[in-house]
Amino acid sequence: MELSVSISFVTVFSAILFSTNLANTEMHSSITTAASIQSVALKREAHALLHSGWWSGENTSSHHCQWPGITCNHHGSVTNISLHGELLWGKSLEELNFSSFPNLVHLDLGSARLVGEIPLKMSNISNLSHLDLSDNNLWGQLPPSLGNLSQLLMLDISSNKISGHIPGEFGCLMSLVTLKLRSNLLNGTIPPSLGLLTNLTELDISENSIEGELPLSLTNLSNLVKLDISSNYEINGSIPSEIGNMKKLTYLDLSSNQLSGHITSRIGAMKNLTYLDLSGNHLSGNVPPCLASTQLRIDFSYNSLEGQIPYEFSPYFANVSFFGNENLCSDITFTGVHPCSTKDSGDDKIIKIIFSISVFIVCAFLSVLLVYKYGYKNKKRPFGDTTTKNGDIFSIWNYDGKIAYEDIIQATEDFDIKYCIGTGGYGSVYKAQLPKGNIVALKKLHGSEAEEPSLRKSFMSEVRTLREIKHRSIIKLHGFCLHKKCMFLIYEYMERGSLFCMLSNDLEAVELDWKKRVTVIKDIAYALCYMHHECSPSIVHRDVSTNNILLNSSLEASVSDFGTARLLHSDTSNQTILAGTYGYIAPELAYTMVVTEKCDVYSFGVVALETLMGKHPRELLSAVSSSSSENLMLAQVLDQRLSPPTNRRVVQDIFLIVKIAFMCLLANPKYRPTMKQVSQEFLARGAPISSKTFRDISLSDLMNSQVYMDAESQV
């Protein structure tokens, strides 16, 4: 009996032990299998990255999670690929096997110079939340299968050559917060399904060829903060009154389309709106008084609005543009429209007189502030006759342009060649003396160029920029003519021409002595500072060069040629095609194509050195970059056509300008000063940069000397 029990116990124990060992074996086998599968998956990711050809050389010697632009989770699986601005010249999206990255959530290939089409297999990245393909050279159509990326929060395919329709399947991207399709070749209508994307805060489909009416469903996007559908040119119909339901909108741009009908007063209910651009459409009817607001910048220009501008806008004329509405009138002569001719009641006249005086006082006060801020209290600059008599060109903004146009034709004898004072690829510049004796400069586009959409856009960019600017060192625009066969700009006449031409002429260069050159450089700095820090939104010139600095009879400088200028909005990428003059373009634009104020800062540095040297500083900059300028003396590189400066103040100003110029030319834009900091240094006239004499100071002395910049606006 006892033996039998013992045998049974042993048997049971053996069975239990066998089962446990079997379970452990199976568990170990399972773990081994899972580890093996994970190892294979990680190897597949590394192979896919390497096979793409986007990484090479020393980049691939380490573990792939250490490669540039790669981020992995704690298991070693790729979660982020960020190669923004890495310049993958000629590479295509087809070269990366996206199905090998099951954990990829962030893919940023913006400004990488990729080519080709967007592959269908991108829709297999099921966990993707961030997709940036902006500013490349992608073509073809948008794959409807991208609508399967249900986790996507941000989709940016701006600035490519994508054509075809916007897929209706994009309405399935219910998690989407940002959708940017700006600056492509998209056509067709806006799919109503986009109105299902109720989480959207930004929708930008501007600068395409979209047509048809605005779908009413878009007004369901109650969380939208920015809506930009501008520059499609074929969007028609009316602005739906339901747009007033979009209470969170701060930025609304519907400009340069074919919209018609009245401007709905429901826009006045959008209390968060700070920017409204309806220009370049066919909108008619009266201006709704409820749109007047101290915080709202509005552009009504180039529509078919009529009637009288409501009094409610009177305190805010500086924020509103009414230009180009032939049937719109105003009792104030500087609003950009012609004066009303209707008779007024006694009460109306009193109100208008009070209103006129109020606006005059406000404008005068603002002008005094600007003059005081930039230290121009003791300098005067002619602004021409501003009366509103028939034929006076200086009232072209305020009066019927037909008479002014006739004066231009008569003054130039229909743009006879004998009045031409300069030519360029875009057209010619003419000098014209008007009946009142005023002399103006006319920049006229050739007939063929006037029909070119890109040049018409540049033309309007210059008009829109200059009409908002009032600064003594920025060229004054008196008016313009816009027509398919005849386009010209009317400027104040600058007798001495461009800074480039004056520096190129030995006799005139001597006339531009050291003190005058210092003043020219400072005036350029003050103008750029005004554009960058006093305008809202900021204006970046993008083509600051000695060719675009003009001099008047007193050799005072004005910044000109704003055809490529760009308004910077803090909530946009500010990416663009390359613009500017070779030799003045900031180096980062070659690979990022992102416009910032620091691009102008770099160009200013080149112009400042060129003004002091009398020639472009390319050889000097090359020597500095190769460290072969250590023993180069300042007196050797400055303009040898002038005698050395003797005035101590002028010498110190030259030292300061050279020092600041080299700071402006730093390769990394982060370390360049802002134009506000540059202007403050010029105005401060603080402690001397060096105690050495002009002949004893070297470039290395200046480059190593200390200039204390206020870091308030440093990026």
Structure tokens at 185: 């070749």
What 3-state DSSP class applies to 382? coil
CA distances from 398 to 339, 386, 460, 473, 524 (A): 7, 10, 18, 23, 29
Nearest CA to 179 out of 168, 188, 170 is that of 170
Q: Which residue in this structure is represented by tokens 């006239």?
A: 685
Question: Do the Cβ atoms of 602 and 664 come closer than 8 Å?
Answer: yes
What 3-state DSSP class applies to 349? helix
Residues 6+ apart with CB under 8 A from 627: none
Rounded Cα distance, 440 and 433, in Å: 7
What 3-state DSSP class applies to 368? helix
Question: Do the Cβ atoms of 83 and 54 come closer than 8 Å?
Answer: yes
The single-letter DSSP state of residue 157 is: -
443 is in an annotated binding site: yes
* 543 noted as active-site residue: yes
| Helix count and strand count (H, E) for the chain | 14, 33
Nearest CA to 306 out of 276, 348, 262 is that of 262
Backbone torsions φ then ψ of 5, nearest 5 degrees: -65, -40
Structure tokens at 117: 């089409």
Question: Do the Cβ atoms of 499 and 549 come closer than 8 Å?
Answer: yes
The single-letter DSSP state of residue 533 is: I
Handedness of CA 211, 215, 221, 227 (dihedral sign): positive
Active-site annotation holder among 543, 600, 639, 653: 543
What residues are labeled active site? 543
Residues contributing to the annotated binding site for ATP: 443
